[in-house]
């Protein structure tokens, strides 16, 4: 295959066998069953049985997520749900890994070709001396074997590919820019564009394989767009995909806790699904770094799970599952942070903070999206559940 055709292959569907395709479909359906239908049944058991029993025993309803967790821990419905959810998560990566391994030599070659030909004009800078923080290197985050940074062979892209193809199985495309379902990046960029904000320099922190970075370049084509991550295999894969899709994005291997960007450089700093994987001290460092490299007049707007202060105790119990069973040990502590206080400690002024729930652009009616942009409408749901509404937080630098 010539180099050009080879580059175009990066990010196309995996060449999975019949059995692998069906395994991937099975896992997607299983996840939906567990997260939607079975989750509803579990909540009913909590409301109809467990909460009442707790009240009879203690005189009070469970007061917070931890108390609900203790009350639910040995309930058969929780044990079954938790076990299915754990296995569906593990099987997500397992369902794409064999195909990635089989095609690894071609994927590596395609990424090299993309880097050399550089058709879109983006760039890739790796730093093999970068210290990989313990919250990434010491565990397989969300059970993805090898996490984001492991390199099994020279010029490896496997972890980027496993994440990219695995998230399609994981979320059926929503949140990660597949098909016409849109993405977090597209949603935030469209929201800001509708607001009349025109960032000239944009940074996506913890960009992994660039799925949520690319929409910024699509929606703000004149902007200089950067993506940083600590995982080299993810960056190689992301760079190759961006080049294949014609987006000049500058990927570099850096820690968001301490970057090499100058002071006051970016108009917009963003991220998606990033902070809940950091330790709390790292979260504080990253927010301080955001403030340092943000231009006066610029905006920081990160997408994350909503803080526990904004959601009810049962939903907190439900969301915090990942902290206990999904190798995301900082998840609960991150959500328990006082977000406004943490942003103010990082240098932002209280009056300039933002906490916005934005409905997913591609699956929301234009008039509903416009109403939310103009502050006239409520987002369809209060939580981020199902990916229908994205919670964002940050602030302006004045």
Ligand X SMILES: C[S@@+](CC[C@H](N)C(=O)[O-])C[C@H]1O[C@@H](n2cnc3c(N)ncnc32)[C@H](O)[C@@H]1O
Whole-number minimum distance, CB 197 to ligand X, in Å? 21
Query: Nearest to ligand X by Cβ — which residue?
Result: 206
Question: Residues 379, 359: contact at Cβ < 8 Å?
Answer: yes
Report whether 183 contacts 139 (CB < 8 A). Answer: no
Longest CA–CA separation in the chain, Å = 73
Q: How far apart are CA 58 and CA 218, in angstroms?
A: 56
Question: β-strand 294-304 against 389-396: which pairing, if any?
Answer: antiparallel
Residues 6+ apart with CB under 8 A from 320: 65, 69, 308, 331, 332, 335
Residue 185 beta carbon to ligand X: minimum distance, rounded to whole angstroms? 7
In this structure, the strands spanning 201-205 and 294-304 are: unpaired
Q: Contact, 151 vs 230, CB < 8 A?
A: no
Rounded-to-5 percentages of helix, strand, coil across the chain: 55, 15, 35
Of 72 and 242, the one with the shorter C-beta distance to ligand X is: 242
As measured in angstroms, the least distance from the Cβ of 334 to ligand X is: 12
Residues that bind ligand X (CB under 6 A): 133, 136, 148, 176, 205-208, 211-212, 228-231, 234, 255-257, 272-274, 277-278
Q: Smallest gap, in angstroms, from Cβ of residue 53 to ligand X?
A: 37
> CB-wise, 78 or 266, nearer to ligand X?
266
* Nearer residue to ligand X within complex by CB, 205 or 225: 205
Contact partners, residue 64, CB within 8 Å, separation at least 6: 313, 316
Looking at the Cβ atoms of 192 and 207, the one nearer to ligand X is: 207
Output the CA–CA distances (angstroms, integers) from residue 165 to 32, 138, 149, in the order listed. 17, 23, 16
Closest CB to ligand X among residues 278, 373 = 278
C-beta of 345: minimal distance to ligand X in Å? 18
Nearer to ligand X, 113 or 257 (CB): 257
CB of 330 to ligand X, least distance (A): 11
3-class DSSP state of 365:
coil
């Amino acid at each position: 295959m010539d180099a050009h055709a080879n580059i175009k292959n990066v990010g196309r569907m995996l060449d999975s066998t019949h059995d692998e395709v069906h395994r991937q479909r099975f896992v997607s359906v299983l996840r939906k069953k567990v997260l939607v239908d079975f989750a509803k049944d579990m909540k009913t058991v909590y409301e109809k049985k467990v909460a009442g029993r707790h009240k009879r025993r203690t005189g009070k309803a469970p007061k917070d997520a931890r108390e609900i967790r203790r009350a639910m821990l040995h309930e058969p419905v929780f044990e079954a749900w938790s076990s299915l959810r754990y296995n569906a998560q593990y099987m997500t990566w397992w369902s794409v890994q064999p195909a990635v391994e089989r095609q690894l030599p071609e994927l590596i070659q395609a990424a090299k070709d993309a880097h050399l030909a550089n058709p879109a004009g983006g760039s890739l800078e790796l730093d093999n001396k970068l210290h990989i923080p313990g919250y990434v290197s010491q565990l397989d985050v969300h059970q993805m074997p090898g996490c984001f940074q492991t390199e099994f062979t020279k010029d490896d892209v496997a972890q980027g590919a496993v994440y990219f193809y695995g998230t399609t199985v994981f979320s059926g495309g929503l949140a990660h820019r597949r098909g016409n379902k849109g993405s977090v990046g597209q949603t935030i960029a469209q929201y800001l564009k509708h607001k009349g904000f025109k960032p000239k320099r944009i940074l996506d922190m913890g960009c992994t394989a660039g799925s949520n970075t690319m929409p910024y370049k699509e929606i703000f084509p004149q902007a200089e767009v950067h993506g940083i991550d600590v995982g080299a295999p993810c960056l190689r894969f992301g760079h190759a995909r961006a080049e294949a899709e014609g987006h000049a994005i500058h990927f570099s291997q850096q820690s968001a806790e301490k970057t090499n960007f100058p002071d006051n450089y970016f108009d917009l700093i963003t991220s998606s699904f990033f902070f809940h994987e950091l330790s709390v001290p790292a979260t504080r460092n990253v927010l301080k770094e955001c403030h340092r490299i943000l231009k006066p007049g610029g905006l920081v707007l990160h997408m994350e799970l909503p803080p526990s202060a904004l959601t009810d105790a049962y939903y907190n119990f439900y969301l915090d599952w990942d902290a206990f069973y999904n190798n995301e040990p900082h998840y609960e502590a991150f959500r328990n942070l006082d977000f406004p206080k943490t942003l103010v400690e990082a240098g932002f002024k209280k009056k300039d903070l933002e906490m916005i729930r934005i409905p997913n652009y591609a699956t929301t009616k234009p008039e509903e999206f416009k109403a939310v942009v103009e502050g006239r409408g409520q987002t369809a749901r209060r939580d981020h559940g199902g990916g229908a509404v994205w919670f964002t937080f940050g602030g302006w630098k004045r």
